[in-house]
Every structure is written in structure tokens, then in C-alpha cells.
Structure 1
Amino acid sequence: MRTTTIRRTIGASTAALAVTLGMLTTPAMAAPSVASSDTRPAIVALTKAQKAELQRAVDAQIKRAAKKGTQTAANEVTYYSADGKVEAVAVLPLPGETIAPSYTQTANGITSDWHGCPTFAYCFYENSNWEGARWQFWAAYEGPPGYASNYGFQDRTSSWVVNTSALYIVADDAAPGGTGQWLWLWTTNPQSSASYVGNTNNDRMDRWWAWVA
């Protein structure tokens, strides 16, 4: 998003319940057990209303993405590759905050020292100045491009970080009119960042290519 103010236009979603042999299945979208087991002080300090607001934002992120995501923390949705490895993580800011907190797995040896973007990752941000939701990736899409719609942030990128060496990224926008053409937006260098992609490129990224030089 263009401004640094987080836009909370995310609507609530309703988890569908199915009955099989008289037993209720797990809700299809929301994962309250995951959220309730998140004991980070910042999460525990949230009011009941704020926790509900955060859960609605998480549900909306899951619903918006074409690729199946799994809620893995009160404010995180993880996307896995076909072989079960972590491919991407959406990290949402907490209610009342403008910057998404550090990735929960930093305790497992993954540092998060550049605008919240973990070491060896590259990240796209919803707002300028690295604010709003953060989508972080580790895999280099050498060959097929990555599509933002798969992870719920099509036309939602305003800033970025490449916190790894030897990785280059090219961002594209789908040309209007359904022509199948793609318009170049920007190219990143290893270990680089941008606090704002500029008025011309703001909220336009639809896909990206990443490769190791």
C-alpha cells in the first residue's frame, strides 16, 4: 500500500464446519488453538477484541491466497512446498502496530535483523518504510516465476528487502487488457532494500523472478 498507515479493510470470514459420523471436523480456515497457544508477551497482552481482530486478518490472508496456507502463529501463515519445506511466511502486524513483529522462528537460529526480514530471505512489504504485512521467502524461483496471488499479496507491494547474497529479483506487472504481456517494474541487487517502490510502481507487482548469480 502506498501510505504507511495499515489498511484494515479485511473482512471477517466464517470457518465452515462439517459433520462426519456425528463428529465435528476442524474449522477449514481459522486455527484458534494455534493462536491461543502463542505465548509471546505481545500476543498475551492483546485484549480479547484485538485477538479477534488479528484472527480475522489471518483468516483473510488465508482466504485471499490461491495457495493453501497454514496458520502457524497468532499472526503468521506459512506456505509449504510440495516436499513439506517452508516456502514462504506471511507475517501480519499486531493490532495497533504498523510494523509486523519478527518471525517466530528466530529462536531456532534464524536471525531477523533487517526490517524484520530474516537472514537468507527476501521480503515484500504491504506499506512503504517496511510497514504493514510482510511476506518472506527463502526459495529462489529459478525457472518458473513466483506469483504474488498465490500468497495473497497481488498488487500490494510498496517496499522490499533482499537479505541474502548473490540473489537477484525482477518484479513484473501484468499488462492491462489480458494480453498476456508483462511489464518490468524493478530489479533488485543482493543485500539491498527499498523503503518505497515509487508512485509509478506502487501496488502493481503481480509476479517476480529470483535467481542466484
Structure 2
Amino acid sequence: MARRVSLVMTVTMTLSVGMITPGLAWSDTHERTEQALAAEIDQVLREHGGTKTAPNEITWHPEGAGTVVLSLPTASGTPSPVKDDPARYAYGCPVNWYCLYENKNFNGLKAAGETGPGAGRLLKWSRFYCDTGAKGRYLELGDYGFRDRASSWVNATSDRFVGVGNWRAFPKFDTLWYMNPNSAAGYVGDTNDDKADLVWSCTH
């Protein structure tokens, strides 16, 4: 069962932490990882478009407003400290945004004081998609390099739930789980792990 927690509660969790491969000098590992990061960014840009807005970040502005941001792990794989008000982030997800994480336990991010992506990809978006009856009224995760990758999530909005689905054949899909407002799950469960293809959100 997925672990769900309220964002307004203090939660203690054991988070996974990336480690340097034994037997390799940190500088050697860092150099190769920097090259891998650059290659991965280039691949996402070729396949999905978008604009590179940071060394490890690509941003899209889908038709109809809203912003979608994909963050890839940095060379070290470690989180960054929050530079502004830590209360505006939960597991690296900004207030009024929705976030999906590639790995369990929010890619190893702490509940407060850190920003992503941590040790895995982080996809976040700001627009709600409500009408699932027509293609284009949901967020297609495959358009942003995040299909079949989600393992944990945060909904940092106060009044919008999010449905997460897995395609069978358009326009049919199976609902995997719901992301309630002001909630988070450190793991979506073995049955749903790495199966999310699309999301939609409506007023709760």
C-alpha cells in the first residue's frame, strides 16, 4: 500500500541516498556523470522539445497555459538547499504545483528545506487538466520524458485532486491512483510502480 501523508504534518521517513561507486575517485565519477547528464538532456530535447532552463532542467509551456518542468539528477545526485521560504516546498515540490518522482521516497528529498530533483527525475506542472473526454485535456507524461517512471508523488495544491492513469488503448485507460490535495505518497505500490502514462486534475 502506498504511504500517504498530509503535507501539513511532520513526517519522519527513511530516505534513500545515492552513493559514490566504490573503487572510483569522486572526480572521475563526477566527470562521467556530467557527460551523462548532458547527453540525457540533449536526448530529451531531441525527442520532446522544450527549452533548457538550467544545466539539468527542461521547461515546456503547453498550449492553454501552465508550465511543465522536468529536472534530471545532477552530477552528484544530491539535493539543493531551498534558497527562499522552506515552507513553500514539500519534498522539493513548490506550493500550488503537482510533482511526480522517479524513485521511492521522493527521490530521497527531505520533507522540508530541500529542492529537487534528488536522486532521480522529477516532473512538476502547474496547470490542472479536468476534461478527460478529449485528447489534449490531460497531461500526457510521455510528452515530457516521464512515461512509466512514477514511483512517488506530491500534490501541493489545496483544492485539486489528481487522477493518474495507465493507457490501454486511446481513449481508454485504467485509473491507477488519486493524488489528494495537500497530500503525498512515498511509494505508489508494487502494482502501480512505473506504470503512469497520464494525469488529470479537477476541483476536489
Question: Per the alignment, do residues 63 and 129 of structure 1 end up closer, same or farther by CA in structure 2, a change over 3 Å counting?
Answer: farther
Please, what TM-score do these two structures have when normalized by structure 1? 0.67
Deviation at 1:188, TM superposition (A): 1.7
Question: Per the alignment, do residues 101 and 90 of structure 1 end up closer, same or farther by CA in structure 2, a change over 3 Å counting?
Answer: farther
Q: List runs of 5+ in structure 2 lacking aligned partners.
A: 1-15, 19-28, 108-119, 132-136
Residues 155 and 203, structure 1, Cα contact 8 Å, conserved in 2 = yes
Question: Per the alignment, do residues 148 and 102 of structure 1 end up closer, same or farther by CA in structure 2, a change over 3 Å counting?
Answer: farther
Counterpart residue number, 1:30: none
Alignment of 1:176-191 (within 5 A): 178=169, 180-191=171-182
Alignment of 1:188-207 (within 5 A): 188-207=179-198
Question: Per the alignment, do residues 209 and 110 of structure 1 end up closer, same or farther by CA in structure 2, a change over 3 Å counting?
Answer: farther
Residues 88 and 138, structure 1, Cα contact 8 Å, conserved in 2 = yes
Q: What CA distance in whole angstroms lies between the structure 2 residues aligned with 1:205 and 1:117?
A: 19
Q: Count residues in correspondence.
A: 162
Question: Per the alignment, do residues 111 and 69 of structure 1 end up closer, same or farther by CA in structure 2, a change over 3 Å counting?
Answer: farther
Alignment of 1:52-67 (within 5 A): 52-65=35-48
Residues 98 and 157, structure 2, Cα contact 8 Å, conserved in 1 = yes
Deviation at 1:47, TM superposition (A): 5.2
Identity %: 30
Q: What CA distance in whole angstroms lies between the structure 2 residues aligned with 1:126 and 1:133?
A: 5
Deviations 1:119-155 (A, max 9, x none): 1101001111111110011101122111111111111
Deviation at 1:60, TM superposition (A): 2.6
Deviation at 1:88, TM superposition (A): 0.7
Quick one: which amino acid aligns to residue 51 of structure 1? E
RMSD (CA atoms): 2.7
Please, what TM-score do these two structures have when normalized by structure 2? 0.69
Q: What CA distance in whole angstroms lies between the structure 2 residues aligned with 1:89 and 1:79?
A: 6
Counterpart residue number, 2:92: 116
Counterpart residue number, 2:67: 87
Counterpart residue number, 1:160: 153
Q: What CA distance in whole angstroms lies between the structure 1 residues aligned with 2:88 and 2:44?
A: 22
Deviations 1:21-48 (A, max 9, x none): xxxxxxxxxxxxxxxxxxxxxxxxx955
Task: Tell me the SS of whatever aligns to 2:89.
Answer: coil
Moved more, 53-62 or 161-170: 53-62
Deviations 1:80-101 (A, max 9, x none): 1337x5511011111232x554
Quick one: which amino acid aligns to residue 74 of structure 1? P
Counterpart residue number, 1:72: 53
Larger radius of gyration between Structure 1 and Structure 2: 1
Task: Tell me the SS of whatever aligns to 2:63.
Answer: coil
Question: Per the alignment, do residues 102 and 197 of structure 1 end up closer, same or farther by CA in structure 2, a change over 3 Å counting?
Answer: farther
Counterpart residue number, 2:140: 147
Higher relative contact order (CA 8 A, sep 6+): 2
